[in-house]
Amino acid sequence: MASKIQASDRISYKAMTRASLSSYMWKYKTLYFITLPAIAYFIIFKYIPLFGSVIAFQNYNIFQGISGSKWVGLAHFKRMFEHYDFLNILNNTLLIGLYDLVFAFPAPIILALLLNELRIVFYKRILQTIVYMPHFLSWVIVSGIAIGILSPSTGIVNQFVSWLGHEPVYFLGEESYIRSVLIGSGIWRDSGYGTIIYLAALAGINPDLYEAAEVDGASRWRQTLSITLPSLMPTIMIMFLLHIGKFLDFGFERVYVFLNPLNINNGEILDTYIYKAGLQSQQYSYTTAIGLFKSVVGLLLIVIGNVLSKKTTGESLY
């Protein structure tokens, strides 16, 4: 008898939920209305262009269009892996992405923890503004600043090297330094802006936890390890999953402005190669295949990372 009552209750609850859906949406119509521009943006600029990925399986001709171009199957993907320089370019992309994950990803977390320890509010606000500012500079300006600082003749870094008694180093003229320059410039530009979400998460931590820890005699370092970092972990995991999704998408403009014939062997990545082969050489189908390869790898990394995160920490994107 009890089971029958529970089943009937579930049925009536579902019916009530479906019946009230339209009234619920009407009640919050303003919120749904202001989401329409964002929905339209993703449909127009994110989902509709996905249909253009079909040219990766064609010999695309701009005059014949998608419907009139010849189908070639996986020929462009085969050509991609057989290209004499593709494995080197892929290796550069993987290494730079790995360095970015190891060094650049933790930088905003560490900076947010340091800013959170400041007790003088006025000084803290000024310092936050200073570290946010580089994010609003274009990569062209950032590269100009980096080139000036690293100049072998007038750069402050090489002046310090000369003061130590060593020969000046042409950092952008030697391929062994280009990856460090790319990662370092990215940390300087974006780590301050990346602290915003972590500082917001830190502001949501219950202060009673710190008061109880102080009563127990815990130091600030011990409070950071036992309270702050565990409280930040859900945010860190979500940001980590979003980061690995763009593991192969390091960014065209942030690399292209630093490249030259002397460092291109270690600095060329998939994004810059796509620009040269796709736009400059007009190999649209071939570069679409490379872009599709990047997207599939990113999707797989997100799925795998999400599964592992859910099993280990309980946090996931979906």
Share of the chain above pLDDT 90, in %: 42
Q: Kindly report the backbone phi and psi dihedral angles of residue 177, in degrees, each rounded to the nearest multiple of 5, phi listed first.
A: -105, -10
Residue 125 to residue 37: CA distance in whole angstroms = 33
DSSP 58: E
Tokens 């010849």, residue located:
70
pLDDT at residue 17, rounded to an integer: 62
Helix (H) or strand (E) holding 79: helix 75-82
Rounded CA separation 203/121 (Å)? 14
Reported in sequence order, the residue ranges of the chain that DSSP labels E, i.e. its strands, are 58-59, 70-71
What is the pTM for the complete model shown?
0.83
pLDDT of residue 19: 55
Q: 198-257 pLDDT, tens per residue?
A: 999 998 888 899 889 888 888 888 998 889 999 999 899 889 988 988 888 888 999 999
Res. 260: pLDDT tops 50: yes
The tens digit of pLDDT for each residue in 156-206 reads: 998 998 888 888 888 888 888 999 999 999 999 999 999 999 999 998 888
Q: How many CA atoms, within 13 angstroms, populate the side-chain half-sphere of residue 153?
A: 0
Least confident among 12-16, 141-145, 183-187, 194-198: 12-16
Torsion sign across C-alpha atoms 122, 125, 131, 133: negative
φ, ψ dihedrals at 163, nearest 5°:
-65, -30
Average pLDDT along the chain: 87
Q: Which of 6-15, 54-63, 182-191 has the highest mean pLDDT?
A: 182-191
